[in-house]
Every structure is written in C-alpha cells, then in structure tokens.
C-alpha cells in the first residue's frame, strides 16, 4: 500500500471516530462543515484526496484541532 493511501485511510478513520464520538451522522457533519454528505462518506472510506481547505472545515465542524485528524 502506498503512503498516500495510508494517510487517506488514517484520516478517514479519525473523521469517523470524532463524528461518532459526537453522535453526528454523516449528513449532520456535512451540514456543519458546509460539505456534501456523500463527500463525507467518501472521505471516511478513503476514496477522496481531501484538500487542506476541507480538512479545516471538518476540523472546525468537529471542534478539534487539525492535528487531531492525523
């Protein structure tokens, strides 16, 4: 597995962890982050190479420091 894939998997797992810890659905997180629900699902499944701007949106929506998502 390439390191790029590993980081996408790790990031997606962290997003899912914090989302579930806060009792949020993918749709609720997407709304809070101003992103599409299917995009959140794709991130959690490591299907999207997310941009820094969207990483910041998700961290803000989850009320965590960006570094906690890695």
Tell me if 22 is assigned to some domain: yes
Residues 30-48 pLDDT 10s? 999 999 999 999 999 999 9
Tokens of 19: 């989302």
Work out how many domains the chain is built from and give that number: 1
Tell me if 69 is assigned to some domain: no
Give yes or no for residue 2 having a pLDDT over 80: no
Tell me if 17 is assigned to some domain: yes
Tell me if 68 is assigned to some domain: no
Domain that includes residue 30, residue range: 3-63
Tell me if 54 is assigned to some domain: yes
Q: For 40, how many CA atoms within 13 A lie in the half-sphere containing its CB?
A: 26
Tell me if 70 is assigned to some domain: no
pLDDT given for residue 39 in this prediction: 97
Q: How far is CA 70 from the centre of its chain?
A: 10
Residue 13 belongs to domain with CATH number: 1.10.260.40
């Amino acid at each position: 597995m390439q390191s790029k894939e590993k980081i996408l998997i790790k990031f997606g797992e962290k997003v899912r962890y914090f989302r579930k810890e806060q009792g949020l659905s993918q749709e609720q997180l997407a709304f809070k982050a101003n992103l599409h629900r299917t995009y959140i699902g794709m991130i959690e499944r490591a299907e999207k190479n997310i941009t820094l701007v969207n990483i910041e949106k998700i961290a803000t929506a989850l009320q965590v420091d960006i570094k906690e998502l890695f």
